[in-house]
């Protein structure tokens, strides 16, 4: 199928894009890499009357860093992260995750903020950025605000983005030199969405430890018990296993069947093992 007819506009600035979006209310959608939105339009799941193309806005391609953070513009692509074309605050975690995300053709155009805005539960960036303690900067008609990536998605394909708001950038704290991470994506075939996804980050020097599950029938799931266990100085493998099991027991709103639960356990435990190895 082909997409229904639509108007297309390419604004010259973020301010113009925000104004256009505000004027057009729910008739308009921004398009970044188009890797998901165009497929949805071709399948007639989405039918915006106006597409506002933000992919080439210089503000959204900018990358800055200070001593503590890297700030990636919203339209930085998965491939730019994979290829090291932007600074890596994560000591290899983000390039590693990017390299396993979809296929190269999709990575060439798909963007970090497009992935966050879509809030597909099985996507890489929501889980990875939650584990790293990142935050988005969101620009609306009246003001700017910051939203933690861990609280950005509110459900399956649902976010806290308000009417007329565009994600401008993502601020990612830099990991210390001796920080460790673990990353496990379980999928039937490389390039496909995850069946289970676990990210563990332990930056003991900065006091930041977090274990997160993606592909968990909802927004990224922070495993509180596993995080606590990994934060202990004596990181006993059996304690990590028991903690992850307790987290899955506590996640009563996620409705995992036995097979899914088993996959999530395997992913979480292996990611934590990578940290303590």
Ligand X SMILES: Cc1cc2nc3c(=O)[nH]c(=O)nc-3n(C[C@H](O)[C@H](O)[C@H](O)COP(=O)(O)OP(=O)(O)OC[C@H]3O[C@@H](n4cnc5c(N)ncnc54)[C@H](O)[C@@H]3O)c2cc1C
Strands 196-203 and 180-186: antiparallel
**Total binding residues toward ligand X, as defined by CB under 6 A:** 29
Closest CA to 149 of 136, 137, 159: 136
Interface pattern 177-216 for ligand X (x via CB under 6 A): ---------------xx-----------------------
Closer CB to ligand X, 128 or 240, in the complex: 128
Using the CB atoms, write b or e for 64-80: b if 16+ within 10 Å: eeeeebbbbbbbbbbbb
- Interaction with ligand X in 64-103: which residues (CB under 6 A)? 74, 101-102
C-alpha torsion angle, residues 2, 16, 170, 83 (rounded to 10): 60
Q: In the complex, what is the shortest distance from the CB of residue 236 to ligand X, in angstroms, rounded to a whole number?
A: 33
Closest CA to 49 of 109, 103, 5, 2: 5
Q: Per rule CB under 6 A, is residue 230 in the interface with ligand X?
A: no
Here the tokens at position 42 are 């071709």
Closest CA to 20 of 47, 55, 45, 53: 53
Q: Per rule CB under 6 A, is residue 106 in the interface with ligand X?
A: yes
Q: Per rule CB under 6 A, is residue 49 in the interface with ligand X?
A: no
Binding residue for ligand X, selected from 32, 70, 127, 134, defined by CB under 6 A: 32
Binding residue for ligand X, selected from 93, 132, 166, 240, defined by CB under 6 A: 166
- Interaction with ligand X in 122-151: which residues (CB under 6 A)? 123-124
Q: In the complex, what is the shortest distance from the CB of residue 255 to ligand X, in angstroms, rounded to a whole number?
A: 22
Q: Per rule CB under 6 A, is residue 111 in the interface with ligand X?
A: yes
Helix pair 224-231, 258-276: axis angle to 10 deg? 20
Q: Which stretch binds ligand X (CB under 6 A): 88-96, 159-167, 173-181, 245-253?
A: 159-167
Q: Per rule CB under 6 A, is residue 113 in the interface with ligand X?
A: yes
Here the tokens at position 185 are 């994506």
Q: Per rule CB under 6 A, is residue 170 in the interface with ligand X?
A: no
List phi, psi (to 5°) of 146: -115, 135
Binding residue for ligand X, selected from 11, 73, 89, 110, defined by CB under 6 A: 110
C-alpha–C-alpha distance, residues 254 and 216, integer Å: 7
- Which residues is 51 bridged to in the sheet? 8, 29
Positions in the binding site for ligand X (CB under 6 A): 29-37, 39, 54, 74, 101-102, 106, 110-111, 113-115, 117-118, 123-124, 161, 166-167, 192-193
């Amino acid at each position: 199928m082909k997409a229904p007819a639509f108007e297309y506009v390419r604004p010259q600035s973020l301010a113009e894009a925000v104004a256009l979006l505000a004027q057009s209310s729910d008739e308009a959608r921004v398009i970044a890499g188009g890797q998901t939105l165009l497929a949805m339009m071709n399948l007639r799941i989405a039918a915006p009357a106006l597409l506002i193309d933000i992919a080439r806005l210089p503000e959204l391609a900018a990358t800055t860093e200070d001593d503590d953070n890297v700030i990636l513009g919203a339209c930085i692509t998965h491939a730019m992260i994979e290829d090291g074309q932007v600074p890596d605050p994560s000591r290899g975690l983000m390039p590693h995750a990017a390299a396993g995300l979809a296929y190269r053709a999709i990575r060439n155009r798909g963007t970090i903020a497009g992935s966050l805005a879509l809030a597909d539960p099985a996507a890489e960036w929501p889980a990875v950025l939650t584990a790293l303690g990142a935050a988005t900067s969101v620009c609306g008609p009246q003001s700017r605000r910051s939203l933690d990536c861990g609280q950005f998605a509110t459900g399956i394909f649902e976010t806290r983005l308000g009417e007329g708001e565009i994600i401008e950038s993502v601020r990612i704290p830099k990991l210390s030199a001796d920080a460790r991470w673990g990353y496990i994506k379980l999928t039937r075939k490389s390039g496909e969405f995850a069946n289970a996804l676990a990210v563990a980050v332990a930056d003991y020097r900065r006091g930041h430890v977090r274990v997160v599950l993606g592909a968990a029938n909802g927004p990224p799931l922070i495993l509180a018990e596993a995080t606590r266990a990994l934060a202990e100085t004596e990181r006993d493998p059996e304690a990590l296993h028991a903690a992850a099991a307790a987290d899955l027991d506590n996640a009563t709103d996620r409705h995992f069947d036995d097979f899914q639960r088993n996959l999530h356990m395997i992913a979480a435990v292996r990611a934590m093992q990578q940290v303590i190895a």
